[in-house]
Amino acid sequence: LVGAKRGEPLLFGLIGAAVDVSRLKGNVAGYGVLTLGCGLCARCATAFFAAGGGKLSVKERLFIAIAWTPKATVQAALAGLPFDAAIEVYGRGSPEAYRGEILLALGVLSILITAPLGAAAMAVLGERLLDKDPEFCASPRGTPRQSVDSRRVGVSDPETGTQDVEVTEDEVKLGRGGSF
């Protein structure tokens, strides 16, 4: 987790530094944005229907569809691979290297589009589409509270008879494989 917080900005910076956006022609950028839009629509629809197997409301499923849009980490990690492979195999001035550079520029363009829009959509629509459970949330920000609920469980002991034991809610969840 710490490596991801430090590594992602470095990864985005290195990818951005490797791109010459001036070589990206308008029609290629237009087709790239159109392809990205079609892919995002298909991904959102797939996520919406994939989340339909549980007991989620339509609003929750819609939020999942929006939250599962790309946030640019994979694009940043993979955008340079075709360019690097083309340079290695065909050389820097080859038509294949040019196509690889176009793919790299389109990958950066997708990062510039999806990362801020996805984050903004989650921030705005999360408040509108999701309901907070007042029993689960102790603060208005949605921080889970520590459970203080306790239950009495009867434990049968053959020598002494039934004995009551107090078990907290968190211990019950932990016993079922859950966590705090």
Residue 77 above 90 pLDDT? Answer: no
Contact 47, 64 (CB under 8 A): yes
Angle at 121 between CA 28 and CA 6, to 5 degrees: 80
Residue range 120-167, pLDDT digits in tens? 999 999 989 998 776 665 555 555 544 444 444 444 555 555 555 555
Q: What is the pLDDT of residue 149?
A: 46
Q: What is the pLDDT of residue 51?
A: 93
Residue range 41-56, pLDDT digits in tens? 999 999 999 999 888 9
In the chain, which residue ranges form alpha helices assigned H by DSSP? 2-17, 26-50, 58-67, 73-78, 81-90, 95-129, 169-175
Mean pLDDT is lowest, of 4-18, 34-48, 85-99, 109-123, for: 4-18
Q: What is the pLDDT of residue 90?
A: 96
Q: Phi and psi (nearest 5°) for 94?
A: -75, 160
Q: Cα–Cα distance between 135 and 145 in angstroms, integer? A: 9
The beta-strand segments (E) located in 95-139 are none
Q: Cα–Cα distance between 151 and 122 in angstroms, integer? A: 38
SS3 content of the chain, % helix, strand, coil (to 5): 65, 10, 25
Q: Cα–Cα distance between 66 and 129 in angstroms, integer? A: 11
Taking alpha carbons only, the member of 144, 142, 137, 146 closest to residue 169 is 146
Share of the chain above pLDDT 70, in %: 60
**In the chain, what is the straight-line distance between the N-terminal and C-terminal CA atoms, in Å?**
19
